[in-house]
Homo-oligomer: A and B are copies of this chain.
Amino acid sequence: MPGTTDPVCTEPRAAARTGVCGEPPTAARGGPVSHTLARVARMHRIAMGRRLRELGLYPGQELMMMRLWDCGPVRQSELIQSLGLDPSTVTKMLQRLEQCGHVRRRPDPADRRAVLVEVTDEGLALRAGVEGAWQGLEELSLGGLAPADRAELARLLGLVADNLYEEAGEEGDCPPLPKSC
C-alpha cells in the first residue's frame, strides 16, 4: 500500500489477489436493493439488446416502435411525452428509424411546427418479433417464480415506481398523461 492515503479497503492487496473481495462494492451497501435493481436492469437490457439486434433494432428503439404501433400517426411531441425522453433523443432516433424504413415522417398540415410520425409496413412487420422477444425475456426473467411471487414483484416494483416518479418526475407513462395518446 504505497504512497497516498490508502483506500478504506479491507483487503489491501494480499487478500484481493486470492479473490475474496466482496462482490457488491462496499460503498453500495447503503443501497442493496438499488444495486440489485441496477444490475438486473442492465442484464435485462443486454438480453433484450441481443434479441433486438437480430430484428434490426437497437435497444431503446423498441419502446418507440411499441408506441407507434399503438397509435396511428402521432406528433413527435406526443412521443416525447409518452416516452419521457429528451426531444433531441426522439428527433435523432426517428431520423434513424426513418432511414431504416421502419417509420415515415411528414409535416402536420394542422400545425406547421409539428411532425407526424407513423409506422411503415416494414416497421409493422417487426411487431411480432419484438413482442415475441419481449415475452420470451419476461418468461426467462421470471422463470421459477410462482404466480404469487410474480404478482408480488410487480406490486413492489409498482410501489418503487410511484416513489421514484415524484422525483424523477418525467413521464414515461400514465400518471399525468397530459394529452392525446
Which A residues contact B (CB, under 8 angstroms)? 1, 4-13, 16-19, 21-28, 30-34, 36-48, 63, 65-74, 82, 84, 104, 118-121, 124, 127, 130-132, 134-135, 137-138, 140-145, 149-150, 152-154, 156-161, 163-165, 167-168, 170, 172-174, 177-181
Contacts and interface: CB of A to CB of B under 8 A. Distances in A.
Contact of A164 (B44, B127, B168): B44
Q: Chain A contact residues: over half helix, strand or loop, or mixed?
A: helix
Nearest to A154: B33
Q: Would you list the 5 A-B pairs with minimal beta carbon distance, nearest first?
A: A41-B41, A23-B174, A31-B138, A25-B66, A30-B135
Total copies of this chain within the assembly: 2
A72 B6 contact: yes
A7 B119 contact: yes
A161 B46 CA distance: 12
